[in-house]
Amino acid sequence: MKLKVKDMDIATGGILVVLVNEKDAEKFDLHHEDRVSVKKGRKKTTAIVDIGESDKVVKPGQIGLFEEVVDELNAKPGDIIDMDLEEKPKGVDHIKKKLEGKNLSKEETDEIVREIVERKLSAIELTYFIAACYTRKMNLEETVNLTKAIVKYGNKLKLRNKIIVDKHCTGGVPGNRTTMIVVPIVAAAGLTIPKTSSRSITSPAGTADTMEVLAPVELTLKKMKKVVQKTNGCIILGGGVDLASADDKLIKLRHPLSLDPEGMLLASILAKKAAVNSNHVLIDIPIGKDTKIKNKKEADHLKKLFIKIGKKMGMKVKAIITDGTEPVGNGIGPALEARDVLWVLKRDKRGPKDLEKKCIRMATDILKSAGVKGAGKKVKDILENGKAYAKMKEIIKAQGGNPNINPDKIKPGKYQYTYKAPKSATITDIDNFTVSKIARIAGAPKDQGAGIFLYRHEGQKVKKGQPIFTVYAENKTKLKYARNILKKIGEIRVNHTYL
């Protein structure tokens, strides 16, 4: 069937969708969610059908193309394209097999991942795949196969370096901005560390959000390679270089229900490391009531799997279990976290000691794993003699930022509210979930200056009238929303043991 293009000016965020008039749908016996092939000249793709029930949006003889299809076909309004029926992707049958509790072969896993990358599977089908892996579990072989498939059908960073190191955190701890300190330390030690990071989905800031305060993070793969070759490291947005595109699509669907199937979690993390050819990887597993991993038993189990799967992927993996019961650092939110990072690197007394201590431990573990002698002393020397800060400036410049940025010029939002201690007390609990929630309501990470600054941590004493935290926002309305929520939940659920 030949149809005239209408550009819908609507993006789905990934899935290829076309809209046809109900009369044309009847002629072709098409139903909602059916698949069709659409072709313009030599360009051809597969899309999912939506049906318009009147002539208001698309008329008979027209086909509405969502932006992803427009881009695939390089189509313009008024172009004539061919539409034909398309068979159901084979991956759907494999997903059904997994739903029935059967294990998937390497070939079946490859087919599913390839069809994810080619955008042949709908959001519903991918959600069923995630649910199947969540309820039916994945064995070790399936997890390795999924990891390899994600790498196979994504871009790869090709470097000739013999040793390439990397790190990752399983998440859930606000302010845990270790990457931005560990990367320059390790790079200054002469090791290669091409770090890809993510933006926030549910937290006040991802590493990419915080690094973006200092430098661009959306680099091409070619640009990423140049930065790494010049400086030994980078801190960029992983999604921008398409190193594990299948995983990026799965993550978007996993988060609404907070579904983290164990096999997918492992494959997601290790595929990104394999895509940059890392062979020495450090995994940080924070445990606490608000982190992904709740207790030491779960952490020990995951630690063993990371090491086993890493070995099968040709990686030497070290996993450390860390305290995730409260935020790390003082600033929560892009600008506040970036300021903390620079203070630590510049050896400013305002740099948070808990963040510094954790970064020293992680950088030391990475250097030890790579066979560097005297790793602990070397890490401390690099930090103290300014080489880590100099390296960070190199990376910022190479990525297109201002290397001479002054942390004191990084200003948080101008609207603020400070909560002060009503009595002298000892801080006994700072709730991670609530800290994240308030920082996000205040505008983080979209508003770079929004967030929370903590003046005290658990176990520290505070006198009556001293500040415990300040909420920052870039406009009055968001600060008002944040304060209203604070009132409802009792001032961030900071518990005091009064003296």
Task: Report DSSP state, residue 242.
Answer: T
How high is the pLDDT of residue 491?
54
Residue 331: closest CA among 213, 204, 212: 204
Query: Is the domain of 208 the same as that of 125?
Result: no
C-alpha Rg value of the chain to the nearest Å: 25
Query: Is the domain of 48 the same as that of 120?
Result: no
Task: Examine residue 404 and state whether it is found in any structural domain, yes or no.
Answer: no
By three-state DSSP, how is residue 313 classified?
coil
How high is the pLDDT of residue 499?
36
Query: Is the domain of 314 the same as that of 239?
Result: yes
Query: Is the domain of 56 the same as that of 195?
Result: no
Residue 53: closest CA among 20, 6, 9: 20
Q: What angle do CA 280, 281, 284 make, to 5 degrees?
A: 155
The span from the CA of 304 to the CA of 319, in Å, is 8
Query: Is the domain of 201 the same as that of 344?
Result: yes
| Whether 272 contacts 238, CB under 8 Å | yes
The span from the CA of 360 to the CA of 340, in Å, is 15
By three-state DSSP, how is residue 332 classified?
strand
112-to-14, 89, 94, 115, 239 alpha-carbon distances in Å: 16, 9, 7, 5, 20
The span from the CA of 309 to the CA of 327, in Å, is 30
Task: Examine residue 365 and state whether it is found in any structural domain, yes or no.
Answer: yes
Convert the pLDDT of each residue in 339-394 to its tens digit: 999 999 999 999 999 999 999 999 999 999 999 999 999 999 999 999 999 999 99
Task: Examine residue 200 and state whether it is found in any structural domain, yes or no.
Answer: yes
Q: Of residues 260, 290, 340, 365, which has the active-site annotation?
A: 260
Task: Examine residue 100 and state whether it is found in any structural domain, yes or no.
Answer: yes
Q: Crossing angle for the helix pair 106-117 and 90-99, nearest 10 degrees? A: 120
Q: What angle do CA 148, 149, 150 make, to 5 degrees?
A: 95
Task: Examine residue 405 and state whether it is found in any structural domain, yes or no.
Answer: no
349-382 burial, b at 16+ Cβ within 10 Å, e below that, comes to eebbebbbebbbbbbbbbbbbbebeebeebbeeb
How high is the pLDDT of residue 495?
58
The span from the CA of 472 to the CA of 137, in Å, is 42
Asked which of 334, 364, 398 is the last residue of a domain, the reply is 398
Query: Is the domain of 100 the same as that of 243?
Result: no
Task: Examine residue 148 and state whether it is found in any structural domain, yes or no.
Answer: no
Q: What is the CATH number of the domain that holds 486?
A: 3.90.1170.30
The span from the CA of 342 to the CA of 79, in Å, is 53
The span from the CA of 235 to the CA of 115, in Å, is 29
How high is the pLDDT of residue 57?
92
| 468 Cβ contact partners less than 8 Å away, ≥ 6 residues apart | 419, 420, 421, 427, 454, 455, 456, 462, 494
Query: Is the domain of 253 the same as that of 196?
Result: yes
Q: What is the CATH number of the domain that holds 205?
A: 3.40.1030.10
Convert the pLDDT of each residue in 296-351 to its tens digit: 999 999 999 999 999 999 999 999 999 999 999 999 999 999 999 999 999 999 99
How many domains does the chain contain in total? Answer: 4
Dig out the tokens for 137 from the structure: 């579990």
Query: Is the domain of 232 the same as that of 350?
Result: yes
Below-50 pLDDT ranges, the chain: 498-499
Q: Does this model's pTM top 0.85?
A: yes
Is 247 among the residues known to form the active site? no
Q: Omega of the bond prior to 204 within 30 degrees of 0, cis?
A: no
Asked which of 398, 421, 453 is the last residue of a domain, the reply is 398
Task: Examine residue 159 and state whether it is found in any structural domain, yes or no.
Answer: no
The domain of 339 spans 165-398
Query: Is the domain of 282 the same as that of 302?
Result: yes
The span from the CA of 160 to the CA of 147, in Å, is 22
Q: Which amino acid is at 276?
A: V
Task: Examine residue 71 and state whether it is found in any structural domain, yes or no.
Answer: yes
The span from the CA of 381 to the CA of 320, in Å, is 23
β-bridge mates for residue 447, sequence order: none
| 487 Cβ contact partners less than 8 Å away, ≥ 6 residues apart | none
| 135 Cβ contact partners less than 8 Å away, ≥ 6 residues apart | none
Query: Is the domain of 425 the same as that of 468?
Result: yes
Query: Is the domain of 72 the same as that of 25?
Result: yes
Query: Is the domain of 184 the same as that of 264?
Result: yes
| Whether 45 contacts 72, CB under 8 Å | yes
β-bridge mates for residue 320, sequence order: 284
HSE, CB side, 13 Å, CA atoms: give it for residue 25: 22
Q: What is the CATH number of the domain that holds 41?
A: 2.40.40.20
281-300 burial, b at 16+ Cβ within 10 Å, e below that, comes to bbbbbbbbebbbbeeeebbe
Q: Which amino acid is at 16?
A: L
| 89 Cβ contact partners less than 8 Å away, ≥ 6 residues apart | 35, 46, 115, 120, 121, 125
HSE, CB side, 13 Å, CA atoms: give it for residue 440: 14
How high is the pLDDT of residue 372?
97
